[in-house]
C-alpha cells in the first residue's frame, strides 16, 4: 500500500470515528465512563493478579471496593452537598444584592470618578456579569443533564457503567493483544512505540489529575468548612472537581468564596484574608507538589491547548466530548510530535543538500 493510500485510510478512519461520536454522543456517557473506570483500575488489577489472585477475583474485588466507596459518597456526602447547593441557589439573589451594596458603599468616590465609573454603572455591570455567569452555569448543567437523559434516566449511568467496567476490566489484556494483532506488520515497531507513548501520556495525566482533583477538593472543602464559610464544603469540592481545567477551578472557587466571605464576614477582614490564603496555599500545593509529583509533563501539552481541547470537544460532542478531550488531545499531541520528527528528518525539511549560494556583501 502506498503512502498516499495509507494516509487516506487513516483519515477516513478518523472521520468515521468522529462521525460516530457526534451521532451517538447522547448515549455514550455510561460506556465512556465505564471505559474510563476500567482504564483507571487496570494497573490495580494487574498488581493483584501479579500477587497470585485470578483475574476474575481481582476484577470483582476492585469493582466491589469502587462501588462501595461510591455508595458511601452518595449516602454520606451527596445529601450534604445537595442541601448546600439548594441553599446556595436560594440565597444567590440576596448574596448578589449584598455584594452590590458593599461595592457601592465602600468603593472610593475618587477612584470611581477617576475610572469613570458611577455606582449605578458598577451595579449594572455587576448584574450583567453575574447574569452571564449564571447563564453559562445553566447551559453547562443543561448539557450535563441532557447527556444523561439520552438513556432511560441518569440512574442508568450507575447501572450500565459498572457492568461495562467489569467486562472491560476482565478482558483488558486480551483486548490489547487482539488490537495488537490487527496492526500492520510493516510498521509494527513504530505503531507499538506510538501506542506506548500515548498510553504513558494519557495514563500519567488522567490518573495523576484524578488524584490532584481529589486531594485539592478535600483540602479546599475541609479548610473552608473549618473557617466556617457558608457553603464552604460545596465550594471546595466544586473547585477541586473543576481543577482539571488549568486555572479555572481555583479561579472560580476563589471568586465565589471571596464573594460569600465578603457578605458573611465583613467588616471582619482577617477572615476574608484567611479565605484568600486557603486558595493561595492550594495553588502552591498544586503547582509545586501535586502537579510535579502526580502529573508532571505527561501529556506534553500546554495548559492553553488543554483548555482549547476541553471547550472544543465539549462544543462538538457535549459532556461526552469533555470526558474524551484530554485523552484525545494527548494522543493528538503524540502524533503531532511524531509527524514533526518525521518532517525534520525528511528531504522536504533538509532539502537536496545543495550548497547555499555565497552571500554578497
Higher pLDDT: 22 or 357? It is 22
The pLDDT value recorded for residue 101 is: 73
- Percent of the chain residues past pLDDT 70, beyond the cut: 75
CA dist list (Å): 327 to 23, 286, 322, 324: 20, 21, 10, 6
* Residue 48 to residue 54: CA distance in whole angstroms: 8
b/e map of 247-268 (b: 16 or more CB within 10 Å)? eebbebbbebbebbbbbbbeee
Mean pLDDT, all residues of the chain: 75
The pLDDT value recorded for residue 151 is: 40
Confidence of residue 122 (pLDDT cuts 50, 70, 90): low
Is pLDDT at 267 greater than 70 in this prediction? yes
Query: What predicted TM-score, i.e. pTM, was given to this entire model?
Result: 0.66
Q: Choose the weakest-confidence range: 60-69, 161-170, 339-348.
A: 339-348
Is pLDDT at 309 greater than 50 in this prediction? yes
Candidate ranges 103-117, 228-242, 297-311, 315-329; pick with highest mean pLDDT: 228-242
The pLDDT value recorded for residue 135 is: 57
Is pLDDT at 258 greater than 80 in this prediction? yes
162-186 average pLDDT score: 82
Close Cβ partners of 293 (under 8 Å, ≥ 6 residues apart): none
Q: Which of 21, 54, 98 is nearest to 259 (CA)?
A: 98
Contact 249/240 with Cβ under 8 angstroms?
Answer: yes
Confidence of residue 152 (pLDDT cuts 50, 70, 90): very low
- CA 179 and chain centroid, separation: 28
Candidate ranges 37-46, 76-85, 96-105; pick with highest mean pLDDT: 37-46
Amino acid at each position: 500500500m502506498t503512502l498516499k493510500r495509507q494516509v487516506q485510510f487513516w483519515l477516513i478512519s478518523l472521520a468515521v470515528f468522529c462521525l460516530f461520536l457526534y451521532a451517538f454522543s447522547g448515549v455514550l456517557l455510561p460506556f465512556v465512563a465505564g471505559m474510563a473506570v476500567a482504564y483507571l483500575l487496570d494497573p490495580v488489577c494487574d498488581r493483584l493478579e501479579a500477587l497470585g489472585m485470578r483475574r476474575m477475583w481481582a476484577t470483582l474485588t476492585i469493582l466491589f471496593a469502587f462501588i462501595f466507596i461510591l455508595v458511601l459518597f452518595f449516602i454520606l456526602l451527596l445529601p450534604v452537598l445537595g442541601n448546600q447547593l439548594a441553599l446556595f441557589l436560594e440565597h444567590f439573589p440576596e448574596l448578589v444584592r449584598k455584594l452590590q451594596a458593599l461595592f457601592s458603599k465602600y468603593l472610593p468616590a475618587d477612584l470611581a470618578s477617576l475610572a469613570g465609573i458611577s455606582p449605578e454603572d458598577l451595579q449594572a455591570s455587576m448584574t450583567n456579569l453575574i447574569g452571564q455567569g449564571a447563564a453559562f452555569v445553566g447551559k453547562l448543567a443543561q448539557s450535563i443533564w441532557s447527556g444523561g437523559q439520552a438513556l432511560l434516566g441518569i440512574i442508568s449511568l450507575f447501572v450500565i457503567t459498572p457492568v461495562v467496567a467489569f467486562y472491560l476490566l476482565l478482558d483488558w489484556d486480551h483486548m490489547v493483544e487482539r488490537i495488537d494483532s490487527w496492526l500492520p506488520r510493516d510498521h509494527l515497531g513504530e505503531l507499538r512505540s506510538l501506542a506506548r507513548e500515548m498510553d504513558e501520556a494519557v495514563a500519567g495525566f488522567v490518573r495523576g489529575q484524578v488524584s490532584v482533583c481529589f486531594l485539592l477538593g478535600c483540602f479546599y472543602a475541609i479548610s473552608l468548612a473549618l473557617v466556617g464559610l457558608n457553603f464552604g464544603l460545596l465550594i471546595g469540592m466544586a473547585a477541586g472537581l473543576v481543577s482539571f481545567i488549568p486555572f479555572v477551578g481555583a479561579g472560580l472557587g476563589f471568586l465565589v468564596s471571596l464573594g460569600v466571605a465578603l457578605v458573611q464576614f465583613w467588616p471582619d477582614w482577617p477572615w476574608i484574608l484567611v479565605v484568600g490564603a486557603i486558595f493561595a496555599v492550594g495553588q502552591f500545593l498544586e503547582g509545586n507538589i501535586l502537579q510535579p509529583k502526580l502529573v508532571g509533563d505527561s501529556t506534553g501539552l500546554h495548559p492553553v491547548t488543554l483548555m482549547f481541547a476541553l471547550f472544543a470537544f465539549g462544543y462538538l460532542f457535549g459532556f461526552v466530548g469533555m470526558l474524551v478531550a484530554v485523552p484525545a488531545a494527548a494522543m493528538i499531541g503524540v502524533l503531532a510530535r511524531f509527524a514533526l520528527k518525521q518532517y525534520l528528518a525528511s528531504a522536504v525539511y533538509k532539502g537536496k543538500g545543495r550548497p547555499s549560494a555565497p552571500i554578497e556583501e
